[in-house]
Amino acid sequence: MLDVKFVVENIDAVRKALETRGDVSGLDEVERLYKKRKEFASKCDALRHEQKVVSEQFRTSKSEEEREVLRKKSKELAQDIRALEEMLAKVESELNAALLRIPNVPHPSVPVGKSELENVVVRQWGEPRHFNFQPREHFEIGEKLGILDFESARKIAGARFVVYRGIGARLERALANFMLDLHVSEHGYTEIFPPFLVTEACMIGTGQLPKFEEEMYSVRDGFYLIPTAEVPVTNLHREEILDARSLPIKYCAYSACFRREAGSYGKDVRGMTRVHQFQKVELVKFCTPETSYDELESLVRDAEEVLKRLEIPYRVVALCTGDLGFASAKTYDIEAFFPGQNTYREVSSCSNFEAFQARRANIRFRREQGKKPEFVHTLNGSGLAIGRTIIAILENFQQEDGSVIVPEALRPYLGVEKIVPII
């Protein structure tokens, strides 16, 4: 959530910045409600001051007749104040609801553009492998190996799910352990295993609600299935004031993720590029405002290292303003090369939210004892999405006979050098 005072005092600059995202809806409403709140608050203050004067006059008056007039006046003022306070509370609620739907302001370094077609490739690592046969897509490879079972998944849960079988299930588990070990042992993150159900307040805190209600899975008793571990992990410090000396705080977490993929039907229907449930290792950081963009760069490098160790070609892309996520001030996508599709696909999205999430979740830090608390900056990124990393492994390391070579870094976790068809 943006600082409403900053928005109103810099309305033209904010409007111009949000226009590059293609979303200025609600900005006029925020300005209107802010002025209305200010007007009601000013009237309330004036009436309270008048009530205080009347009270003092009542205390010093020696005339019973005058005291009766003052008593009546005080009662009328109290009624007027209550009515104004009710109107003020209503406007406050409306203003907060309007602010929750305003996206973050892009950082000045974000390239301006309308869609993903205007994203900018920052760097590239590794050369796509040359095949002496037509490379197959992951679903064909996985089904022939007997490790990806889409038919059983459809019978159990419907379309856009997958059942991992045998070494396929072990591959999923091996990747999770490999990623967690790398981030904990070498990159200095603290491992968290969070709940997969969260409250509405948590979803509001990280920006999923109220704007993206249709994309979330809600369940009974006010809970939501998490779309990413970003939600529970960021909310670990909701309503807290952190000691500046503890920053940066770095967490990594493995979780299942649940998304409706609303509006994406017709895209990537086959296989597991877009599914309703997938697993991911998430990286989350809390830091001071002045260090957050350095922390974003290191976050991206930490996620990149997974692909380097797995020897999968990839590129890093800076998202343009029109492709930024709702809560993000700046985002880099890491895209692995998928030979079966002959294209690069996202396996990680690393974002700096600045104070946007912290203001919604009230996560602050104090630089020194007695100093006023400030909002932290929050960041997160996939380190990596496991399902899509499996796609990259199957497609990059496929052999002409249908087998798949296991990347060397993963062999100690999987215990085999090659995945061959189940007989």
Distance separating alpha carbons of residues 160 and 345, to the nearest angstrom? 18
Q: Could you say which of 292, 328, 348, 349 is catalytic?
A: 349
Whether 53 and 164 share a structural domain: no
299 within domain boundaries = yes
Q: Is 274 noted as a catalytic residue in this protein?
A: yes
Whether 126 and 81 share a structural domain: no
Give the pLDDT band (50/70/90) at residue 265. low
Q: What is the CA radius of gyration of the chain?
A: 27
Residue 141 bridge partners (DSSP): none
Q: What is the CATH number of the domain that holds 58?
A: 1.10.287.40
Give the pLDDT band (50/70/90) at residue 117. very high
201 within domain boundaries = yes
pLDDT (average), residues 265-293: 90
H or E segment to which residue 349 belongs: strand 343-352
What pLDDT score was predicted for residue 67? Answer: 85
Is a pLDDT exceeding 80 seen at residue 423?
no
Torsion of CA 299, 249, 277, 118, to 10 degrees: -30
Give the pLDDT band (50/70/90) at residue 123. very high
pTM, whole model, 2 decimals?
A: 0.93
Tally the domains of the chain: 2
- Residue 88 vs residue 64, higher pLDDT: 88
374 within domain boundaries = yes
108 within domain boundaries = no
What pLDDT score was predicted for residue 422? Answer: 72
Alpha helix segments (H runs only) across 207-361: 230-234, 292-310, 356-361
What pLDDT score was predicted for residue 64? Answer: 85
Q: Could you say which of 21, 259, 345, 360 is catalytic?
A: 259
What pLDDT score was predicted for residue 262? Answer: 63
Q: Could you say which of 160, 359, 364, 388 is catalytic?
A: 388
What pLDDT score was predicted for residue 261? Answer: 77
Whether 23 and 162 share a structural domain: no
Whether 95 and 209 share a structural domain: no
Torsion of CA 224, 3, 358, 188, to 10 degrees: 130
Give the pLDDT band (50/70/90) at residue 267. low
Q: Could you say which of 67, 274, 315, 367 is catalytic?
A: 274
Cα 140 off chain centre by? 32
Whether 206 and 278 share a structural domain: yes
Instruction: Point out the domain boundary residue: 70, 99, 128.
Output: 99
Per-residue pLDDT of 356-367, as tens digits, reads: 999 999 999 999
Q: Is 349 noted as a catalytic residue in this protein?
A: yes
Distance separating alpha carbons of residues 226 and 153, to the nearest angstrom? 20
SS3 381: strand
> Residue 93's domain spans which residues?
4-99
H or E segment to which residue 404 belongs: strand 404-405
Is a pLDDT exceeding 70 seen at residue 266?
no
pLDDT (average), residues 323-344: 97
Whether 200 and 288 share a structural domain: yes
107 within domain boundaries = no
Whether 128 and 245 share a structural domain: yes
Whether 33 and 59 share a structural domain: yes
Q: Which amino acid is at 418?
A: K
Q: Could you say which of 94, 143, 311, 346 is catalytic?
A: 346
106 within domain boundaries = no
pLDDT (average), residues 149-169: 96
53 within domain boundaries = yes
> Which residues, other chains included, contact 364 with Cβ-Cβ below 8 Å and sequence gap of 6+?
240, 241, 242, 358, 373, 374, 375, 376
Q: Report CA-CA distances (Å) from 63 to 31, 153, 173, 335.
A: 48, 86, 85, 83
Per-residue pLDDT of 398-418, as tens digits, reads: 999 999 999 999 999 999 999
Mean pLDDT lowest among 47-56, 185-194, 321-330 = 47-56
Give the pLDDT band (50/70/90) at residue 61. confident
Q: Is 388 noted as a catalytic residue in this protein?
A: yes
SS3 187: coil
pLDDT (average), residues 350-373: 97
pLDDT (average), residues 182-207: 98
pLDDT (average), residues 122-136: 97
Whether 56 and 154 share a structural domain: no
Three-state SS string over 350-408 comes to: EEECCCHHHHHHCCEEECCCCCCCEECEEEEEEEEEHHHHHHHHHHHCECCCCCEECCH
Whether 93 and 200 share a structural domain: no
The strands making up 223-225's β-sheet, listed across from edge to edge, are 197-199, 223-225, 217-218
Percent of residues, the chain, with pLDDT higher than 70: 98
Is a pLDDT exceeding 80 seen at residue 119?
yes
Is a pLDDT exceeding 90 seen at residue 294?
yes
Whether 90 and 130 share a structural domain: no
Is a pLDDT exceeding 90 seen at residue 263?
no
Q: Which amino acid is at 318?
A: A
Per-residue pLDDT of 75-98, as tens digits, reads: 999 999 999 999 999 999 999 999
> Which residues, other chains included, contact 369 with Cβ-Cβ below 8 Å and sequence gap of 6+?
none
Instruction: Point out the domain boundary residue: 73, 99, 125.
Output: 99
Give the pLDDT band (50/70/90) at residue 264. low
pLDDT (average), residues 55-61: 88
Q: Is 136 noted as a catalytic residue in this protein?
A: no
Closest C-alpha among 352, 201, 370, 205 to residue 288: 352
21 within domain boundaries = yes
CB 167 within 8 A of CB 404: no
Instruction: Point out the domain boundary residue: 41, 64, 99.
Output: 99
pLDDT (average), residues 299-313: 98
Whether 133 and 14 share a structural domain: no
Q: Is 346 noted as a catalytic residue in this protein?
A: yes
